[in-house]
Structure formats: structure tokens, C-alpha cells
């Protein structure tokens, strides 16, 4: 487990307060990145999706409406409460499993549990390179053979790059939020164990934020014994219990 330190604790409190003050902080409509992901998932025959950093669920709800079984993780209880309420309102609760979780921990699922993993601007939060390597290794482990990873991150062409308070690496605190800006070289270096399918540029918001939209496919072979590079390991009994249901309408396990 990574030593997070005081700064990361402050970030969690900051996000909890943000969602408490503004439940629609990122807006009500799904992101453009999520809409593109739906097309990819449909084309690839994806059924089960692990979403990391789901926030209040604007993208989660899109996936659920499209019929995907979504396991949505976030470390903000406030955000997951908003997601639960909105999923109930539109009748998709049976397609959404929620879990309070910090992605710097080992994912609580057996190997090969999911068809795809999705995250929108999670990996560009206050995560060091070793933490990112660990997270992508864990994603690799829980994906089925040939499974997909789609993620977006802010990049070094963003107008806020090298502004605010420098924290470490290419991380800067801007308006209370710590952002890790990615270069294309960084994406390549983090892709061990995967085939890079696409790295596209996109913009989001009125600023706008400059993003990389990354699509990876899990390689069949594992390239290292280092668990940070996706080495398979035996799942614990708790992980087996947490695996997504094969029933087409699994029940929402609620918060843990």
C-alpha cells in the first residue's frame, strides 16, 4: 500500500466538500469521452465495465442506460450517494454496483473479472508515477484476456500546465485540486503489458482542458513478475465475493 501523506488526505476532503456543495460539479450530461467509449464497447462486445473514479456518475449512468453492467468505484462517499440516488431515479440501479474505494489499493476483484475498464480524468489526479504503474497493473490483472482499458488525462499542452503550486513530478495544485499532466512519452512508459490502440487529443469544458484519450488492449502475455505490471495473483476469498455477478441484472451491493 502506498503512503499517501497529508496532501492526499486533503484532496479526499476537498472532493467530499466539492460534491457536498455542488452535486453536479461536472454537469449532468455524460462526457464526450464516455459517448465515444459506448461506441467502442458496443463494437467490442463488452458487457462488464469497471469504472474507476466515477464521481457523481454522469458517465456511469450513460453506460447503465446502454445496458452495460457497471462496477463504479470512487473514494468519495458523497459522490457515490449522488450516483445511487440518480440511478434509482432513472431505473438503472440493477445495472450499477457501487463501492467506496481508493485506487491506490489492490483492486478487490479476482483476475479476469471485467471486459473493460474506464476512467475519465482519474489518472491525472494526485498520483505519482509508481502509483500509476501499480493502478494500471491492477487494471491489467482484473481484465479478461484481450480486455480494454480506456482512460483520459490532462496533458502537457493544457493551459494550466506549470501553473499553480508545484507538488512533484508534473503535478501542480490549481484551485485546490492537484493535477498530474501527462506527456505522450509518459503514456507509452505506462503501457507495459498493453497494446496501445489509440492516443487521441480532445478538449473538455469552457477553459478548455486539453486531454489525451487513450485506448489500450491487454496483451495475452504478462511481461514482468512485478505486480505493478499486471502479474496475475490468486484472489482472496473477499475478492471472489466481490466479483461482478454473471446474472444479467445483479443487485446493487450499496456502499461498503
Domain map of the chain by residue range?
10-242
The answer to whether the beta carbons of residues 66 and 134 sit under 8 Å apart is no
Residue 129: count other Cβ atoms within 10 Å of its Cβ.
Answer: 14
SS3 47: coil
| 59 grid coordinates | 458517465
For every one of its 256 residues, what pLDDT tens digit does the chain have, with 9 covering 90 and above?
344 445 555 766 655 666 556 656 556 799 999 999 999 999 999 999 999 999 999 999 999 999 999 999 999 999 999 999 999 999 999 999 999 999 999 999 999 999 999 999 999 999 999 999 999 999 999 999 999 999 999 999 999 999 999 999 999 999 889 999 999 999 999 999 999 999 999 999 988 999 999 999 999 765 443 333 333 333 444 544 454 543 333 333 333 3
Nearest alpha-carbon partner for 198 in 189, 187, 190, 208: 187
CB burial readout 34-68, b (16+ within 10 A) else e: bebbbebbeeeebebbbbbbbbbbbbbbbbbebeb
| Local structure of residue 111 (DSSP, 8 states) | T
Instruction: Using DSSP, state whether 41 is helix, strand or coil.
Output: helix
Sign of torsion over alpha carbons 153, 156, 162, 168: positive
Three cell numbers at 208? 478548455
User: What is the predicted pLDDT for the residue at 14?
Assistant: 54
Element (H, E) at 71: strand 69-74
Q: Answer yes or no: are the C-beta atoms of 157 and 207 closer than 8 Å.
A: no
Q: Which candidate, 149, 97, 83, places its Cα nearest to that of 120?
A: 149
Q: Residue 167 — φ and ψ, nearest 5°?
A: -100, -50
How far is Cα 169 from Cα 180, in angstroms, rounded to an integer?
8
User: d(Cα 60, Cα 223) in Å, to the nearest integer?
Assistant: 32
Q: Is the pTM of this model over 0.85?
A: no
CATH of domain 10-242: 3.40.50.150
Eight-state DSSP code of residue 235 = P
CA distance linking residue 251 with residue 256, whole number of Å = 14
Amino acid at each position: 500500500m502506498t503512503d499517501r501523506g497529508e496532501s492526499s488526505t486533503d484532496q479526499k476532503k476537498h472532493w467530499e466538500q466539492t460534491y457536498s456543495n455542488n452535486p453536479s460539479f461536472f454537469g449532468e450530461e455524460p462526457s464526450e469521452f464516455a459517448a465515444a467509449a459506448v461506441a467502442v464497447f458496443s463494437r467490442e462486445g463488452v458487457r462488464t465495465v469497471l469504472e474507476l473514479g466515477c464521481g457523481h456518475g454522469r458517465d456511469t449512468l450513460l453506460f447503465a442506460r446502454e445496458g452495460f453492467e457497471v462496477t463504479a468505484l470512487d473514494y468519495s462517499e458523497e459522490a457515490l450517494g449522488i450516483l445511487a440516488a440518480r440511478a434509482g431515479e432513472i431505473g438503472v440501479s440493477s445495472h450499477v454496483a457501487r463501492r467506496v474505494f481508493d485506487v491506490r489499493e489492490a483492486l478487490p476483484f479476482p483476475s479476469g473479472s471485467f471486459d473493460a475498464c474506464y476512467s475519465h480524468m482519474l489518472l491525472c489526479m494526485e498520483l505519482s508515477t509508481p502509483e500509476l504503474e501499480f493502478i494500471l497493473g491492477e487494471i491489467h490483472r482484473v481484465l479478461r484476456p484481450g480486455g480494454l482499458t480506456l482512460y483520459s488525462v490532462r496533458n502537457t499542452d493544457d493551459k494550466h500546465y506549470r501553473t499553480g503550486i508545484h507538488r512533484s513530478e508534473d503535478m501542480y495544485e490549481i484551485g485546490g485540486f492537484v493535477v498530474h499532466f501527462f506527456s505522450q512519452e509518459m503514456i507509452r512508459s505506462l503501457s507495459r503489458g498493453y497494446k496501445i490502440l489509440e492516443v487521441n487529443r480532445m478538449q473538455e469544458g469552457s477553459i478548455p482542458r486539453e486531454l489525451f484519450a487513450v485506448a489500450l488492449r491487454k496483451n495475452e502475455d504478462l511481461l514482468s513478475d512485478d505486480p505493478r505490471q499486471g502479474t496475475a495473483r490468486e484472489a482472496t476469498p473477499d475478492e471472489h465475493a466481490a466479483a461482478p455477478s454473471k446474472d444479467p441484472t445483479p443487485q446493487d451491493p450499496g456502499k461498503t
